[in-house]
Structure 1
Amino acid sequence: MFKPFLSISRKVILLLVMAAAFFSFRIEKPIKEKENGRIHWPELKQEVKPWTRWWWFGNAVTEKDLTAALEAYKQAGLGGVEITPIYGVHGAEDQFINFLSPAWMDKLSYTLQEAKRLGLGVDLANASGWPFGGPWVDETIACKNMVSKTFTIEGGQKVTESIKYVQKPLVRTAGDKKVDIRELKDPITANNNLQAYAFDQVRFEKELPLISVTANKITSQGFDEVIDLTDNVINGRLEWTAPNGKWLVCALFQGDHGKMVERAGPGGEGNVIDHFSAEALEKYLLQFDKAFKGYDLSYLRYFFNDSYEVDDAQGQANWTPDFFTAFKKMRGYDLRQHIPALLGIDTEEKNKRILYDYRLTVSDLLLEVYTKNWQRWAAKQGKGIRNQAHGSPANVLDLYAASDIPEIEGTDIVNLKSAPSAGHVTGKNLISSESATWLNEHFESNLGDVKTAIDKLWLAGVNHVFYHGTAYSPQDATWPGWLFYAAVHFTPNNSLWDHFGAFNQYVARGQAFLQAGKPSNDILLYFGVSDLWSETGKSMLHHFHSNRFFDELSLKACGTYLSEHGYSWDAISDKQLLDVEYQNTALLIGGNSYKTIVVPETHHMPVATFKKLMMLAQKGASIVFHKNLPTDIPGFANLTEARQRMQLLKEKLAFTGYQGSQIAKYGKGQIVLSEGLVDLSGHTDVVPERIYAVGLQSIRRVKEDGNYYYFIHNPLQSLFEGWITLNADYQSAALYNLMTGIDGYAKTRRHGNQVEIYLQLKPAESIVLETFKCSYKGNHYPYYEVSGDAITLAKEWQINFIKGGPTLPNSLYTKELQSWTDYGEAYTSFSGTATYKTKIPALPTKADAWRLDLGEVHESAAVYLNGRYLTTLFSTPYSLEIPSDQLKGNDELEIKVSNLMANRIADLDKRNVQWRIFYNTNFNARKKKNMGEDGKFTAKNWTPKPSGLIGEITLTPLTLSGN
């Protein structure tokens, strides 16, 4: 049967072989181009899409409404939800479900099943509200504070006052119900109607347990001899007669800080845990273990912590029962021998050193017994932790680093870099953010405002956005439904929801690039807390809050300068710095490489940190100290020895140079003392991105093939148009417009040794640029030049109101576009979507494309041409380019415009219709001018917000510019 094949001539066989080789070559080439130079959009996977915080009010959720909500979120382009149970809604009490009860677990299980069906991810807050706490957190594991009493006596005398401390009563609530603490039961969970009270902080009047009593002999130099008198206190009296001399008796007592879980839902109300106690965390998490038993939570991704915020109250949580033992283990000496300094009544020098060691111990406890133990607990279940470490009285970079996904919030780019920095230096790919939190007053934020916030987060290093947020609301709830008090309301009842999907596509496209590759920053900027922690003051602890993270440190000034001048950097802590290695001219940590370390002005530095910096210099690194070398070490532990070691290290450095900049060669590298950062490039291999000099901003990521992704943003109020150069090895580049989906190769030219790239960016526009080391040619990204005068579309417009309320106004026909609120009373209260239709006549001039400029828009607009969707516009300038081949003459232009919720809310308030139906916070104003007589938000004094299209709409002829 094989004879016919064997009879084929050798020529035929040769032709077949050649053809096979030819087709093999033709198949391989596109694959190679895709890997190295073909324009290619990353896949929009679940984690690149934006997620949202999903509040469950009172846990009053039903399976029908859970499914409806998840399907709406899926359709809008969300990637996942983070479930955060919070306070309830008036009128839904019969539907309340206690947190972690079997009924609640059934709803969680159902949600996981539905989310899996829809391809949505799910995270879960490890509390109802925040911080960690609940009704099972009794007094023994609740957050504590330390209070003191001091007595001065002479030798031969006794302390006549009792060694007792009676805690003063305190009650703070966030709810509408007034309370007299004398009517409350202790513990707080023994009281009824906790949702109505919404307790924020409670301290009952009671005698506090004694921690310790010491007698400290007073000298001209402070204190020397110390006697422990704790066992001499009997029935509140000190049985002790002072020896010769003058003595200070210090009595410490353990108090209740009294912080309650904020915004807690049913079954979640109660004390906040003692974050400095391993026992407290273990007992707290045991309640979750019990609740989870027997349920399949395999689809759940991560557990979440919504920031520290224990001290969003009176006083500080600054103690734990085992603190003395932990302190001695960590610092190597007995704190009880130095109580006057802890209380700030020793010498200034001694006070600051003891206080530093105290703060360092608190930081270590938050890291070791809270964050790491929580992460281990989650890992045992196959989960990770997403952690907002900010607010903590700790070295927050270390807390972020111990988290699987560090999460930040805020608006200042330098402060926003805290969580991304920790993620980068520890090799974590995902950096999340609580995003667009309460940008403006309620109901006044548009999607353009959200874009501004997201772009800033991306520039700081965030690549996993969580909106703040989305409230679960039953389908039959009266408009506006259930809403959270501190949010941009990303809910289906928001009139901007129709355009939310298009915006989410922008976010997903951007994050698909920003999650690819690895961060590519040049500078490690030292995050030194020693100076701050060595400062005395009113508070025993310093808290690093999100939008003031670096503000009290010299790092802020350095970070601001570096960011504004185009230098890319990550902050690094003392602990993280010890893991840095120097190899092949690069500083390596977390799988990433850096070019130098910059130390902001620092006076106190741990000797281990300074030694590490010198070791890196010895191997070849350039270390830049801004203004000075550290002048001292912090803390009291091993002070003399540590100072000697620091001095010996500094003596190895011989500086030469002029006053403004001095250099000490050390080993293969150098230590630079620089009065300013202007000449940073002259002493290191670091070069700023030059696009910052022309007003643009960027962040860079490096791909496995050595090429780069740049996210470039134009923060200017004007068009940017010009040639740029980038700090990358490239011969060609591609451009990706995240909003429109348009892409193409960038126009390039060689200028000396540099390849320049041509950019056109509208105000507030952002783009992704991909570099290639080889030259690739193909379709260019469209660059346009204006080639004639604008033409006003003056024909009649038909306006139809298609969605929203309170009712749909009648259709309109007009030649003059103005705010639809000007068309009469029926239109002033309307919030929703209207369609504007007109015809575009045959255009009088030829052009490659036409710029459609919508002029003034309130607030977002989806544009259709002849029934075909073009794009959605969210902010000024509301314009887009339409290729001429899409305009045939007598074309139908349709623009769907959505306004804010504001006008409809204002109408409700003017008519005294009650929509604020929430327990706990019901419903705070962001701005004082919007506060009513009851202290809550009201829009009754608002005038109608402009809505729709206003003014002229024009078409401008454009010519494609040459290559």
Structure 2
Amino acid sequence: MTRRIAAGLALLCVALPAHGQSRADPEFLWESFLAPPPEARPMMRWWWFGPAVDEAEIDREIRAMKAGGFGGFEVQPVYPLSPDDPATGVRNRPWLSDDFLAALRHAARTAQAEGMRIDVTGGSGWPFGGPHVPVTQAAMNIRMVRVPVAAGATEFVVPALGPAEALVSARIGAKILAIDGLRAQVGASEVPREALLFVAGRTGQQVKRAAIGAEGYVLDHLDGAAVAHHLETVGERLLSAFAGIAPPYAFFSDSLESYGSSWTGDLPAQFARRRGYDLVPHLPALFLDTPESAAVRFDWARTLAELTGERYLSAIDAWTKRHGTRFRVQAYGTPPTFLSGNGRVALPEGEGANWREFTSTRWATSGAHLYGKPVVSSEAWTWLHSPSWAATPLDMKVEADRHFLQGVNQLVGHGWPYSPPGAGEPGWAFYAAAALSDRNPWYGAMPALTRYLQRASHLLRLGEPANAVAIYLPTEDVLAAMHPQAASVNDAIAHRLPHSLVTQVLDAGHGFDFVDAQAIAAPGFRHRVLVLPRLDRIDPEAYAAIERWTRKGGTLIAIDRLPNSAGGLRDEAARAAVRRLSQRMRATIVSEGDLGPALARAVPDVVLAAPDPTLGFVHRKLPEGDLYFVANTGNLPVQTRARFAGDRGTGAWWDAMTGKRWSAGTGDIAIELAPYETRFLMFGAAAPGSVARASASVRALTGAWRVQFPGRDERGLGSRRPWADDPDTRFFSGTATYRLRFDAAPAAGRCFALDFGVGVPRAEAAGGRSSRPVAAIDAPIRDAAIVRLNGQVVGTVFAPPYRLEIGKALRPGENLLEIQVSNTMLNRLAGRAPADFRLLTARYGERFQNQDQGKIAPQPSGLLGPVSLVEAEASDRPCGS
């Protein structure tokens, strides 16, 4: 690393100039791309099962993460995987015990000594909660109980209430009933009737995947006292492990999965203060469809979301700042939050890789863009190629690219399972996630993958997002349709927002952000086009801001019609304001299917020669020029041409996998990408070379190939068949070395590469998130290879185009090629009986279920395709491309 780069790394991550450097220094930018700052490295969620951890293994795994190219980890204590067992050395340390905190402190010391980032989860499992949460601070709901009242009856028995529950209201029809103890008095009637009782109760939800000692109620996220008690009891206790050393980089909260949470103790008082009327007489409207239901539900749900933002998001963010750390949070789920809630926290985070639809990832990145948060993370690789141990480096790259396409620039891998030495091979794994530790046979390829991810994350942090289009989320309509049983804004939007809106925006050549009513006024709302889905309601203040924006030149496109309503039960003035605004609003009204053509007239950012839904891009404005991340998300090659908006001059391709750059030309840029290949396109930074394709000759290496498996003699390779097809290697998981001696005559002015063949595309498997492989391609190398030529490492191969330049390693005469090929752990696991958790469950109860164990089977492994030597005229492009 040069002294110039070292001086500027910390500043580059926020796009500021390095000492002595111009803000627009393309060569400095290029050098930082080759050796990006450590802050951009991916992280890992580190599961501590039990927790049964010891200091020696903690140190070993931290150093293994660092060796793999990870920049840090988030400690998340979760369920045990073994009872205490002296025979294997397993000893569970109860959560928050002195023993546990000593282990956490040791991990922090080692991480900081190794230059690694450490985050702590603000609980165990998820959501926040545990034994410190009394029933009076547990998550609350409001429920309606129907009680039949027989004809002629003058009283009925009130159903029994649970601990910390209260009867809020009782009624028959419009008549409010007085409750006296266990019986309710009613007037006699000749016909049967039904009493409706509204009970403010407790959901009873327990912390999911809790560690030993962390069992207990989920806290009430809407109760400021409950949140403060959690921070005092748990947060302060966790941070005490960092006394005298640097605090954790961040304090983490997973998504708010407090199912059924829909009430809090002072909700009626808060509702009256904020909405101007008493909610209690209107409770039937939350459960029954009445003329006032939509308006009352809107007021109730809006109040919940405001309380979540104030009492949970803002409260914890302020607490972390006081303690010298930051709040990293997945700010969505139940109870409800607004997209603009991302502006309340230091580090928004999302999850979900489906870049062509609504996701929580885009929810988080949009909030980050709108509120000026330069770093936004995502929980990556959750459910990746289930079951555990099935994921490959290519799977990881493919999903990571889909997060990058949504604006993510910090990956938090899901994840790294701590495993004690006595657990055997491959060790422990989380029940529903990729196991991405160094117990994977292919972990030797991880540094090449993380170097790619680090380069991409670094560039995607620079400058500012340049999305021209915003999509207004139908939050107001979602609030008006919300029910106490499912009080989540983002979940409802995912079902309500038409899938075609996102796809049409992308296919029209635009990048976009989602926006909600509060975020219209955010400093990052600088979009040129705003799309309104089919809305009934809209916030009148936001709508007025939109009108002012249109008068300054903004383009408003509405689907089918403009909204005509607003607000809640007492908001007639708001409804009238919306109707007036709609009458004079400058807007283009189109049908849902015609959105794409309308957007195509709004100066698209990227215009392809032919539509291709597998090709995605992200655009950022840098002081040095315009930067595009271009990704082929499909399993077939892409060959097309694209015109990028504006007069940007000559472009340069920057390849984050190889660290090479070459000229892309001007005007219509040729795009040629292998399956799942990505590149950056930089305008404003010159690159050497030309856009001319270098002619290449290809020679198959067909000599006497040999192969050697660990502990076995080297043998001749009669044919390249998968290891799983050979009874001797069917259940082998690990690394085998292929060797070949071949002659070459390298000449000056020529470049040489090894080509391992092409992958064969396959149909993606049907099924849910836990069953679909990410990379739908049968690779010629299964699943990664480290290649040496004449004893020199020339590179790692795990992704298309399966080609390595071999440069100066090739010599005249005889050459020794060694290819170390590694597969996944599935083959080994297929040869043994599944784990028996009977005694564990008997001791601690069933805290998890291993997913997709029936899918464990030997996988095709090894060097499966021909290897060729490619010779071409030397150029600045990848050899023979």
What range is the shorter-chain TM-score in?
Answer: 0.7 to 0.9
1:779 paired to 2:688: yes
1:671 paired to 2:587: yes
Matched AA of 1:141: Q
- Quickly say closer, same or farther: Cα 1:948–1:154, change in 2 above 3 A: closer
- Kindly indicate whether the alpha-carbon contact (under 8 Å) linking 1:785 and 1:958 is maintained by their aligned counterparts in 2: yes
Taking only the aligned residue pairs, the percentage that are identical comes to: 26
- Quickly say closer, same or farther: Cα 1:828–1:687, change in 2 above 3 A: closer
Partner of residue 514, structure 2:
571
Equivalents in 2 of 1:293, 1:900: separation in Å?
40
1:736-770 superposed Cα distances (whole Å, 9 cap, x missing partner) = 211122223x1414xxxxx3444442221111122
1:52-97 superposed Cα distances (whole Å, 9 cap, x missing partner) = 0001111222221111111111111110000000112324367222
- Pick from 450, 462, 465: which aligns with 2:396? 450
- Quickly say closer, same or farther: Cα 1:611–1:886, change in 2 above 3 A: same
- Kindly indicate whether the alpha-carbon contact (under 8 Å) linking 1:711 and 1:769 is maintained by their aligned counterparts in 2: yes
- Quickly say closer, same or farther: Cα 1:80–1:34, change in 2 above 3 A: same
Instruction: For residue 411 of structure 1, report the CA deviation from its aligned partner.
Output: 2.4
Partner of residue 199, structure 1:
none
Q: Secondary structure at the match of 1:466?
A: strand
Partner of residue 580, structure 2:
648
1:260-280 superposed Cα distances (whole Å, 9 cap, x missing partner) = 011111221111101111111
Q: Secondary structure at the match of 1:551?
A: helix
- Kindly indicate whether the alpha-carbon contact (under 8 Å) linking 1:355 and 1:540 is maintained by their aligned counterparts in 2: no
Equivalents in 2 of 1:128, 1:607: separation in Å?
41
1:446-468 superposed Cα distances (whole Å, 9 cap, x missing partner) = 11111110010000111100111
Partner of residue 171, structure 1:
none
Equivalents in 2 of 1:32, 1:250: separation in Å?
70
- Kindly indicate whether the alpha-carbon contact (under 8 Å) linking 1:87 and 1:920 is maintained by their aligned counterparts in 2: no
Instruction: For residue 499 of structure 1, report the CA deviation from its aligned partner.
Output: 1.1
- Quickly say closer, same or farther: Cα 1:925–1:772, change in 2 above 3 A: same
Q: Which runs of 5+ in 1 are unaligned?
A: 1-27, 167-205, 581-588, 654-669, 750-754, 803-807, 932-937
Partner of residue 665, structure 2:
748
Partner of residue 308, structure 1:
256
Partner of residue 813, structure 2:
889
Instruction: For residue 116 of structure 1, report the CA deviation from its aligned partner.
Output: 0.7
**Could you say what the CA RMSD is over the residues aligned between the two structures, in angstroms?**
3.2
Equivalents in 1 of 2:543, 2:724: separation in Å?
65
- Quickly say closer, same or farther: Cα 1:33–1:850, change in 2 above 3 A: farther
Partner of residue 950, structure 1:
864
- Quickly say closer, same or farther: Cα 1:824–1:163, change in 2 above 3 A: closer
- Kindly indicate whether the alpha-carbon contact (under 8 Å) linking 1:344 and 1:351 is maintained by their aligned counterparts in 2: yes
1:510-556 superposed Cα distances (whole Å, 9 cap, x missing partner) = 1111112221111121012222333377x6434356xx674322354
Instruction: For residue 906 of structure 1, report the CA deviation from its aligned partner.
Output: 1.0
- Kindly indicate whether the alpha-carbon contact (under 8 Å) linking 2:155 and 2:185 is maintained by their aligned counterparts in 1: no
- Kindly indicate whether the alpha-carbon contact (under 8 Å) linking 1:564 and 1:692 is maintained by their aligned counterparts in 2: no
- Quickly say closer, same or farther: Cα 1:481–1:437, change in 2 above 3 A: same
Matches within 5 A, 1:800-839: 800-802=708-710, 808-825=711-728, 827-839=729-741
- Pick from 609, 619, 627: which aligns with 1:700? 619
Partner of residue 320, structure 2:
378
- Pick from 482, 485, 509: which aligns with 2:428? 482
- Kindly indicate whether the alpha-carbon contact (under 8 Å) linking 1:632 and 1:643 is maintained by their aligned counterparts in 2: yes
- Pick from 99, 114, 120: which aligns with 1:118? 114
Equivalents in 2 of 1:618, 1:763: separation in Å?
45
1:35 paired to 2:25: yes
Instruction: For residue 304 of structure 1, report the CA deviation from its aligned partner.
Output: 0.7
1:802-839 superposed Cα distances (whole Å, 9 cap, x missing partner) = 4xxxxx344222243222344442x2221111111112
Computing the radius of gyration from Cα coordinates, the structure with the larger value is: 1
Instruction: For residue 562 of structure 1, report the CA deviation from its aligned partner.
Output: 0.7
Q: Secondary structure at the match of 1:673?
A: strand
- Pick from 474, 486, 508: which aligns with 2:454? 508
Equivalents in 2 of 1:851, 1:246: separation in Å?
86
1:239-269 superposed Cα distances (whole Å, 9 cap, x missing partner) = 4658999997532223221110111112211
Partner of residue 190, structure 1:
none
- Kindly indicate whether the alpha-carbon contact (under 8 Å) linking 1:897 and 1:949 is maintained by their aligned counterparts in 2: yes
- Pick from 244, 253, 260: which aligns with 1:296? 244
TM-score normalised to structure 1 length = 0.79
Equivalents in 2 of 1:954, 1:212: separation in Å?
77
Equivalents in 2 of 1:522, 1:955: separation in Å?
45
Instruction: For residue 722 of structure 1, report the CA deviation from its aligned partner.
Output: 5.5
- Quickly say closer, same or farther: Cα 1:800–1:784, change in 2 above 3 A: farther
1:87 paired to 2:79: yes
Equivalents in 1 of 2:830, 2:368: separation in Å?
43
Equivalents in 2 of 1:762, 1:620: separation in Å?
40
Partner of residue 285, structure 2:
341
- Kindly indicate whether the alpha-carbon contact (under 8 Å) linking 1:341 and 1:354 is maintained by their aligned counterparts in 2: yes
Instruction: For residue 723 of structure 1, report the CA deviation from its aligned partner.
Output: 4.5
- Kindly indicate whether the alpha-carbon contact (under 8 Å) linking 2:608 and 2:640 is maintained by their aligned counterparts in 1: no
Equivalents in 2 of 1:37, 1:210: separation in Å?
67
1:317 paired to 2:309: no
Equivalents in 2 of 1:818, 1:674: separation in Å?
56
Q: Secondary structure at the match of 1:836?
A: strand
- Kindly indicate whether the alpha-carbon contact (under 8 Å) linking 1:714 and 1:761 is maintained by their aligned counterparts in 2: yes
Q: Secondary structure at the match of 2:611?
A: helix
Matches within 5 A, 1:137-176: 137-150=133-146, 159-166=154-161
- Pick from 39, 60, 68: which aligns with 2:60? 68
Matched AA of 1:646: V
1:358 paired to 2:300: yes
Equivalents in 2 of 1:91, 1:150: separation in Å?
45
Equivalents in 1 of 2:741, 2:823: separation in Å?
23
TM-score normalised to structure 2 length = 0.86
Q: Which runs of 5+ in 2 are unaligned?
A: 1-17, 758-779
Equivalents in 1 of 2:378, 2:839: separation in Å?
28
Range with greater deviation from structure 2 (507-516 or 382-391): 382-391
Q: Secondary structure at the match of 1:40?
A: helix
Equivalents in 2 of 1:319, 1:683: separation in Å?
47
1:604 paired to 2:537: yes
Equivalents in 1 of 2:58, 2:163: separation in Å?
48
1:492 paired to 2:438: yes
Matches within 5 A, 1:100-139: 100-139=96-135
- Kindly indicate whether the alpha-carbon contact (under 8 Å) linking 1:596 and 1:686 is maintained by their aligned counterparts in 2: no
Equivalents in 2 of 1:154, 1:869: separation in Å?
85
Equivalents in 2 of 1:69, 1:747: separation in Å?
42
- Quickly say closer, same or farther: Cα 1:95–1:37, change in 2 above 3 A: closer
1:873 paired to 2:797: yes
1:339-383 superposed Cα distances (whole Å, 9 cap, x missing partner) = 2222315x2x31222122222222122111111111111111121
- Kindly indicate whether the alpha-carbon contact (under 8 Å) linking 1:680 and 1:686 is maintained by their aligned counterparts in 2: no
- Pick from 667, 679, 682: which aligns with 1:770? 682
Matched AA of 2:464: K
1:579-613 superposed Cα distances (whole Å, 9 cap, x missing partner) = 15xxxxxxxx23x6321222112122222222221
1:323-354 superposed Cα distances (whole Å, 9 cap, x missing partner) = 21121122111011212222315x2x312221
- Quickly say closer, same or farther: Cα 1:269–1:51, change in 2 above 3 A: same
Instruction: For residue 161 of structure 1, report the CA deviation from its aligned partner.
Output: 0.5
Equivalents in 2 of 1:474, 1:864: separation in Å?
33
Partner of residue 384, structure 2:
439
Equivalents in 2 of 1:650, 1:887: separation in Å?
74
Instruction: For residue 288 of structure 1, report the CA deviation from its aligned partner.
Output: 2.6
